[in-house]
Amino acid sequence: MQHMKNFATVICSTCFLLFLSCKKIQNETEIPTQDPQLKTLIDKGFKASDIVSVGDNFVIQGDMVVKKSDVALISSKVYKSKSNNNSMRGTQQADYSYSNPPVTSTQISVYVDPNISANSDWVNAINSAVSEWNNVPNFSIQFAVNITNPSSDIRIINGTNSSLNNSSMDYGIVSSELPINGSPGTTIAIDLNSSNSYSSTYMKLLMIHSFGHTIGIMHTDEYLIGTSIPGTKQCPYQGCNPDPLSVMNMVISSSTSGFTKFDKVAIRYLYPLDQTQTPIYRYYSNARHFYTCNWYELTFGNSSWVYESCEGYIYSNSGNGSRVPVYRYYKSSTGDHIYTINFNELGNGNYGYYRETDLGYAYSYQVSGTVPLYRFRHPTSNQNLHFYTQNYSEGYGWIYEGICCYVLPN
């Protein structure tokens, strides 16, 4: 069944992959292990093997830049993920940020240097990337391209010939500064010499990826740096990547077209416009399904439950009475959960089900921007196991019982 698939499937090694940065960084120098600035970065969770020194900058993993003068401004350590193993840093859709959120601005202006604006392919890629970011649901930040103001929040420059603090920015195809003190990274550099043969789609993905770094989002497929964001996927070992199509991967797949579901979950967690919107986390265990809006109830799962994905969003309040509670019930003899907006269905508990904490608040009718959450029952089990999904076809083979409520899509 589709809803039982393994979300951690890794793309086969025969697939063609596009690399963000595949050349040796120019003017790279070895950093003494006793260097106090390097030690500061390591103390904040970065790996020494991923850091190179180029002039006045440190370059991390080939495309993320920190000015040496700004290292001390990156405050406090990378926080640990809330996984079953609290000593393990997170991996997926990771946030390098040392505060939450890493950027406090909600309106970010973007200046395009004349050398870049003269290249229509890159202009189109930048505008397309900005549009993709601005259309992420419930995203509190809006990017705006401004070709007349060099003092904009972010400058997009020609990394081939330009310099930042007297050092070359020609690190890879595109490189980005990380945010400092609540402000976005100030510079994105494009190597015009090495980027002439890429498709328009790939150039757009590079720019989406680069804007992500400027607001503090790390590489999804990095094992140690950052902390996993609630609702994304986690893997416990080097080389594992449960979200192989993420646009924030260090290696972008040729099958990537934009943000994945987990990319959007990460973005909406870090930068929510409406903080009352709450993810519905979905878990699976032996034909049973469990849904909760409290991430810390099961986090990334345990020996019994596997975290699958986010099944849309509901609300933490009634919205002046326009939304109704979603009641949650549990039957210990079968392990089944029922979610309903009809209190009379089970009241305070009936038929072996007892009432647990409410899931949250949802609409009993469809309003603009919402979709149905369908309810199904297992066709052969005598335990009446229930399953809920936005995707009606995912319930193939189950008995359809109707619409539970209306939720916000991912």
Model's pTM, two decimal places? 0.84
pLDDT given at position 408 = 98
For the chain, counts of helices (H) and of strands (E): 6, 23
- For the beta carbon of residue 275, count every other beta carbon within 10 angstroms: 9
Where are the CATH 3.40.390.10 domain residues in the chain?
16-269
CA–CA gap between residue 156 and residue 125 (Å, rounded): 12
- For the beta carbon of residue 396, count every other beta carbon within 10 angstroms: 12
Report pLDDT digits (tens) over 20-65. Answer: 333 344 555 556 667 888 888 888 778 888 888 888 899 988 899 9
pLDDT given at position 305 = 95
Report pLDDT digits (tens) over 262-308. Answer: 999 999 999 999 999 999 999 999 989 999 999 999 999 988 999 99
pLDDT given at position 75 = 43
pLDDT given at position 119 = 92
Produce one character per residue of 10-26: b if its CB has 16 or more CB atoms within 10 Å, e if not.
eeeeeeeebebbeeebe
Q: Are 246 and 221 a contacting pair, CB within 8 Å?
A: yes
User: Which residue spans within 140-224 are E strands per DSSP?
Assistant: 142-145, 154-158, 163-164, 167-168, 174-177, 187-190
CA–CA gap between residue 327 and residue 346 (Å, rounded): 9
CA–CA gap between residue 20 and residue 241 (Å, rounded): 16
The whole-number mean pLDDT for each consecutive block of 10 residues of the chain, a chain of 410 residues, reads 31 29 47 76 82 88 90 52 29 46 93 93 96 97 92 92 41 84 93 80 96 91 71 75 90 93 94 96 95 95 92 96 97 96 97 96 97 95 89 96 96
pLDDT given at position 15 = 27
The domain over range 16-269 is classified in CATH as 3.40.50.1240 = no
Helix axes 200-214, 120-134, angle to 10 degrees: 50
Phi-psi region at 111: left, alpha or beta (left = phi > 0; alpha = psi -120 to 50): beta
